[in-house]
Amino acid sequence: MLKGNMHLIQPNCIFKLYTVIVENCCRKSFVPTAVSQTFNYTSLKVLYCTSSHTDSKKTPSQKDNNEQAGTVVDKVCKTKEVPHLTRSNFIKSYLKNDVGLSQKTIRLLEEKCQEMHEHDLPQLRHLTQTLSSYKFSTNQINRLVYFFPGVVFLSGHKVSRLLESVLAETGLKSTELHELVIKAPNILLDGIAVTKEKYLFFDLIMGIKDSWCIVESGAMKYSLYYLQERHDFLWRRGQYIKPDRHGSTRIENPSLKDIFCTTTSDFCDKVALCEIREYQLFQELYVAESKLFRQDEKLNADDDDLEEEEIVPSKLAEELFKSIKK
């Protein structure tokens, strides 16, 4: 009945009817058949909650209705009894019309995050507002969600605290922070201690003072153990030398991308110039070496007279002999 005459109904009337629909939805955990055939929840959300470009032409009462509609939508998306399709439509509409995500990204998000219908719209809204407050552009948010769909389930408060800590601990500029989050989104889950440790590894061990070089390479997405393993392999072979205080070295060091962001095959063929078997043998020894040093630290804590040099080399020699015999 209403479907063909929607243009004749005043906005205030639509909003009141919409409110009744939502309240019934939340109370009875079903959508009336007549209403479900007539109304499209996403269209109403777009009409009343995402038309910011027309706000300047609206009267105060119309703007109040928009704010009320947003509150009602939040209420719907928080209520577990609302049908999944309805909740999912609200979220997709918000991501498309408010945040500006592409349809391709939204489809990927829907495929990767089957539980998206369980997500709270207010929490999602707070997350996107947090990213915007750190000057992330629509395109950058789109890239972040596309390559790291799980970001939509993170708390805005947690993300804000982490980004603030990263800026304080590393001294990155805002543009560098954006690149870091996009190239290594796992830092949002790792925590500041892990991120700081990896950043200091590049600075103090590898001698990389250029922050943009570090974040742009994408190497921050890897574990500290992986970074140490590849660096040590080249360093022990004389194929990587830490730059001096003037940034100079006796050789031309390979780039961070070439060292860390390559497959094992490409790393051996194009960077280390070695056989894959040689690198695999080193990896086996590196695991044993790390284990032995951890054990040795415990032994030294119990016996101050025990010299590290007396234990580790001999055991490493045993491990090397075992690996060669395989």
Output the pLDDT for position 90. 73
Q: What is the pLDDT of residues 246-275, one digit of tens each?
A: 888 889 999 999 999 999 999 999 999 999
Structure tokens at 84: 């999944």
Structure tokens at 259: 């060292």
pLDDT < 50 positions in the chain: 1-58, 62-63, 65-85, 306, 308
Structure tokens at 92: 């997709």
Q: d(Cα 110, Cα 286) in Å, to the nearest integer?
A: 41
* 49 phi/psi in degrees, rounded to 5: -120, -10
Q: d(Cα 212, Cα 139) in Å, to the nearest integer?
A: 20
List the one residue out of 162, 208, 211 whose CA is nearest residue 185. 162
Q: How many CB atoms lie within 10 A of CB 182?
A: 19
Taking the domains of the chain in order of start, what are their residue ranges? 1-120, 275-326
Based on DSSP, count helices (H) and strands (E) in the chain, helices before strands.
18, 0
The 8-class DSSP code of residue 237 comes to T
Long-range contacts of 50-59 (CB under 8 A, 24+ apart): 50/93, 50/94, 50/97, 50/98
Please write down the HEC assignment for all residues of 10-75. CHHHHHHHHHHHHHHHHHHCCCCHHHHHHCCHHHHHHHHHCCHHHHHHCCHHHHHHHHHHHHHHHH
Q: d(Cα 115, Cα 314) in Å, to the nearest integer?
A: 53
DSSP letter string, 287-325? HHHHHHHHHHHHHHHH-TT--HHHHHHHHHHHHHHHHHH
- What pTM value is reported for the model? 0.65
DSSP letter string, 156-182? HHHHHHHHHHHHHHH---HHHHHHHHH
Q: d(Cα 183, Cα 241) in Å, to the nearest integer?
A: 26
Output the pLDDT for position 63. 46
Q: What is the pLDDT of residues 139-170, one digit of tens each?
A: 999 889 888 888 888 889 999 999 999 999 99
Long-range contacts of 267-272 (CB under 8 A, 24+ apart): 267/230, 271/234, 271/239, 272/233, 272/234, 272/237, 272/239
Output the pLDDT for position 191. 87
